Amino acid sequence: EAGVAQSPRYKIIEKRQSVAFWCNPISGHATLYWYQQILGQGPKLLIQFQNNGVVDDSQLPKDRFSAERLKGVDSTLKIQPAKLEDSAVYLCASSYTGSTEAFFGQGTRLTVV
């Protein structure tokens, strides 16, 4: 079974630039999560999708972050404009509906300079 795919693996941008991350979940997983993991911290939930609808985006900084999952499969997370404090690993995870057992991708390491 293929795992959660994310791209790119690494990205370096200057502050105030924009960046986008892509995620393809495990086939059949209707629930998709984006987490932010700052160095030395545990992952923090940014947004949760159920199919193509948003379930929880309470911790998403909506003035600069946006995410979509238009066809209920792939998802894109965008940051515009980026700040230095956005430097982190962005993890995508997916699960079956109603399950807390989530499977994570390898993440995208973002460095904002």
Partner 1 sequence: EDQVTQSPEALRLQEGESSSLNCSYTVSGLRGLFWYRQDPGKGPEFLFTLYSAGEEKEKERLKATLTKKESFLHITAPKPEDSATYLCAVPVDSGYALNFGKGTSLLVTP
| Choices 12-20, 62-70, 74-82, 104-112 (CB under 8 A): range interacting with partner 1 | 104-112
Chain-centroid distance, C-alpha 102: 13
110: contact with partner 1 by CB under 8 A: no
Q: Are strands 103-104 and 44-50 parallel, antiparallel or unpaired?
A: unpaired
The number of beta carbons lying within 10 Å of the beta carbon of residue 74 is 15
104 belongs to the binding site for partner 1 (CB under 8 A): yes
43 sits near partner 1 (criterion: CB under 8 A): yes
> Can residue 102 be called a binding residue for partner 1 (CB under 8 A)?
yes
For 8, other C-beta atoms within 10 Å of its C-beta total: 12
- Complex with partner 1: residue 20 or 45, whichever CB lies closer: 45
- Of 22 and 103, the one with the shorter C-beta distance to partner 1 is 103
Q: Per rule CB under 8 A, is residue 31 in the interface with partner 1?
A: yes
Q: Which is nearer to partner 1, 27 or 42 (CB)?
A: 42
The answer to the question of residue 32 lying near partner 1 (CB under 8 A) is no
Rounded Cα–Cα distance for residues 103 and 92 (Å): 8
Stretch that binds partner 1, among 12-20, 42-50, 60-68, 73-81 (CB under 8 A): 42-50
CA-CA distance, 92 to 77, in Å (whole number)?
Answer: 10
53 CA to centre of own chain: 15
